[in-house]
Amino acid sequence: MTVHFPFDNSYAALPADFFTRVAPTPVTRPRLIKLNRPLALELGLDPDRLDSPEGADILAGQRIPEGADPIAMAYAGHQFGQFVPQLGDGRAILLGEVIDKNGVRRDIQLKGSGPTPYSRRGDGRAALGPVLREYIVSEAMAALGIPTTRSLAAVITGETVARETLLPGAVLTRVATSHIRVGTFQFFAARRNQDAVKALADHVIARHYPNAANTKQPYLALLQEVIRRQAELVARWLLVGFIHGVMNTDNCSVAGETIDYGPCAFMDGYDPAKVFSSIDQTGRYAYGNQPRIALWNLTRLAECLVPLISDDQDAAIADAEAALGEFSERFGKAYDAGLRAKLGLFTAQPGDREMIGDLLGAMTEQQADFTLTFRGLSDLAGNAETDSVRGLFADPTAFDLWLARWQQRIAAEPQDAATRKAAMQAVNPAFIPRNHRIQAVIEAAVERDDFAPFEELLAVLAHPFQDQPDFARYALPPQPHEQVLQTFCGT
């Protein structure tokens, strides 16, 4: 019985300087700890065959499946604002691409599969903790309906990796509509290799934005499309309280998926200045800064594309600036519409913005739990008792005043309470991957080889919008002693 991957590789057909052919490094004793069966089916893979010693070998990089063409992709990037001309897949290897059941091309990549020519001083490996974190958060994002890379499998390698301490090693199989980043464009632009920038842009248009090819200015259309996707993506992040944590240009997907779950976190108490990442000393990637940073990253992409947009440089710059100028409007529209939906407003009325701003202001002041506040308001829309939400505010005075305004505002709309509650529950999750829960899962796995908490958390997060009374404890914010104050990069 062999595991069949229906590979159809396109990136490996691009010019030689786009990547390096490199095989994963074998490991000692691979053990499959998680297989995402529904995702396997979506990709045209047989989950029963993958769930086998041979499958574990493949997912650990021991054995190369037929049709794979393993490569490490080259890219550059701005890290915390500093340009690094040579990054690339230092601990990831793209096995190849498959066309999924919906006709979408998907990358299948092993992360933590050994060194590559782009590893610099790194060991090319991943520790179990960050692999579990990425698995949990990426799948939770998918269940929340937010564009994201996916996790197909996690394998323990049977080896240790040296970080601050010795930790169990693991490999994550990551699936993406592509792994092309803003930093991929920067890699070639920084080398003044215009032919390569053009070949990459043509590849991205064909793969992600085929409609751009039919416009008068395909490369401008490409830029506009990436801007739209990123604007909408970041709005979606804010609407669930997600903090990416390391929005470097090499972690910014041109396909508009959330990628690279390192020091990411969902916030508990609402605070626009919230930062979790231990390396983000200045708050560059704070929750509320994310739209600004996305635009900064997109400006770096625009710089790469300017020479392609028009032979007339002034005209090209004007076009690129106009495209970047649309970011704020796009973001604002998506964010405002999302907030209105979170508050159960079926129409837009003058004064809504101010009302929403006042709620967020009160939440910030009282550090009210972001997720519970909106989920609680959904219940209030269905005429539940107000106490559950009031209790989230240390001093509920401002909330009480606000609540009366909101209740008056929704009463002026024709929808009945049950309709509004259902609509609100469909956009306000009860369950998010809270940091302290992820931490507990990692501890159980690393210290006790116990993956039951991991499975249970995944099962709860697969249905974030459903009340799951048996698992109500997963909806709760951390107790003071459970609070996770900092998160760390997965390196």
Q: Which 3 state secondary structure label does DSSP give 266?
A: strand
C-beta of residue 170 within 8 angstroms of C-beta of residue 154: yes
| Alpha helix segments (H runs only) across 30-114 | 37-42, 47-50, 53-59
489 counts as binding ligand AMP under rule CB under 6 A: yes
88 binds, among ligand AMP, Mg ion, none (CB under 5 to 8 A by kind): ligand AMP
Task: Please indicate if the annotation marks 91 as binding a ligand.
Answer: yes
Task: Write out the binding residues for ligand AMP, residues 72-111 only, by CB under 6 A.
Answer: 87-91
Nearest to 475 by CA among 367, 388, 395, 411: 388
First to last CA, the chain: 36
Pick one of 34, 78, 105, 125: the residue that binds ligand AMP (CB under 6 A).
125
Task: Please indicate if the annotation marks 123 as binding a ligand.
Answer: yes
Pick one of 260, 268, 369, 379: the residue that binds Mg ion (CB under 5 A).
260
Contacts of 381 (CB under 8 A, 6+ apart): 344, 410, 417, 420, 421, 424
Respond yes or no: is residue 195 known to be catalytic: no
Pick one of 124, 129, 344, 376: the residue that binds ligand AMP (CB under 6 A).
124
Task: Please indicate if the annotation marks 48 as binding a ligand.
Answer: no
Pick one of 46, 51, 54, 123: the residue that binds ligand AMP (CB under 6 A).
123
Task: Please indicate if the annotation marks 311 as binding a ligand.
Answer: no
Pick one of 251, 258, 428, 435: the residue that binds Mg ion (CB under 5 A).
251
Residue 437 class from Cβ within 10 Å (0-12 exposed, 13-18 middle, 19+ buried)?
buried
Q: Which stretch binds ligand AMP (CB under 6 A): 123-131, 142-150, 288-296, 336-344?
A: 123-131
Pick one of 119, 160, 193, 415: the residue that binds ligand AMP (CB under 6 A).
119
- The residue among 30 and 263 lying less far from ligand AMP, judged by its C-beta, is 263
Task: Please indicate if the annotation marks 181 as binding a ligand.
Answer: yes
Please state the three-class secondary structure of 130-148 as a single string. Answer: HHHHHHHHHHHHHHCCCCE
CB of 118 to Mg ion, least distance (A): 11
Task: Please indicate if the annotation marks 111 as binding a ligand.
Answer: yes
89 counts as binding Mg ion under rule CB under 5 A: no
- The residue among 251 and 428 lying less far from ligand AMP, judged by its C-beta, is 251
CA distance 109 to 106: 10
Task: Please indicate if the annotation marks 292 as binding a ligand.
Answer: no
Catalytic one among 89, 250, 268, 369? 250
Output DSSP code: residue 263.
S
Q: Which stretch binds ligand AMP (CB under 6 A): 58-66, 115-123, 305-313, 396-404?
A: 115-123
Q: CA separation (Å) from 269 to 153, 245, 341, 464?
A: 32, 17, 20, 18
134 binds, among ligand AMP, Mg ion, none (CB under 5 to 8 A by kind): none
Q: How many residues bind Mg ion (CB under 5 A)?
A: 2
Q: How many residues bind ligand AMP (CB under 6 A)?
A: 19
CA distance 189 to 199: 12
4: tokens are 């069949």
Q: Which stretch binds ligand AMP (CB under 6 A): 243-251, 319-327, 331-339, 392-400?
A: 243-251
> Binding marks (x or -) toward ligand AMP, 254..293, rule CB under 6 A?
------x-x-------------------------------
Residue 390 class from Cβ within 10 Å (0-12 exposed, 13-18 middle, 19+ buried)?
middle
Task: Please indicate if the annotation marks 174 as binding a ligand.
Answer: yes
Burial track 414-433 (b if 16+ CB lie within 10 A, e otherwise)? ebeeeebbebbbebbbbbbb
CA distance 442 to 450: 9
Query: If phi over 0 gives left and psi between -120 and 50 gives alpha, with beta otherwise, what is residue 344?
Result: left
Burial track 168-182 (b if 16+ CB lie within 10 A, e otherwise)? bbbbbbbbbbbbbbb
122 counts as binding ligand AMP under rule CB under 6 A: yes
CA distance 368 to 393: 5
CB of 77 to Mg ion, least distance (A): 8
- The residue among 251 and 425 lying less far from Mg ion, judged by its C-beta, is 251
Task: Please indicate if the annotation marks 416 as binding a ligand.
Answer: no
52 counts as binding ligand AMP under rule CB under 6 A: no
Task: Please indicate if the annotation marks 351 as binding a ligand.
Answer: no
Q: Which 3 state secondary structure label does DSSP give 409?
A: helix
Nearest to 464 by CA among 253, 242, 256, 271: 242
Query: If phi over 0 gives left and psi between -120 and 50 gives alpha, with beta otherwise, what is residue 383?
Result: left
61 counts as binding ligand AMP under rule CB under 6 A: no
Residue 322 class from Cβ within 10 Å (0-12 exposed, 13-18 middle, 19+ buried)?
exposed
Pick one of 178, 251, 290, 297: the residue that binds ligand AMP (CB under 6 A).
251
CB of 15 to ligand AMP, least distance (A): 20
Output DSSP code: residue 478.
P
Pick one of 20, 52, 419, 491: the residue that binds ligand AMP (CB under 6 A).
491
Q: Residues annotated in the binding site, as ranges?
A: 88, 90-91, 111, 123-124, 174, 181, 251, 260
Q: Which residues bind ligand AMP (CB under 6 A)?
A: 87-91, 118-119, 122-125, 246, 250-251, 260, 262, 489-491
Task: Specify binding-site residues for Mg(2+).
Answer: 251, 260
Q: Which residues contribute to the site for Mg ion (CB under 5 A)?
A: 251, 260
Catalytic sites, residue numbers: 250
| Annotated binding-site residue numbers for ATP | 88, 90-91, 111, 123-124, 174, 181, 260
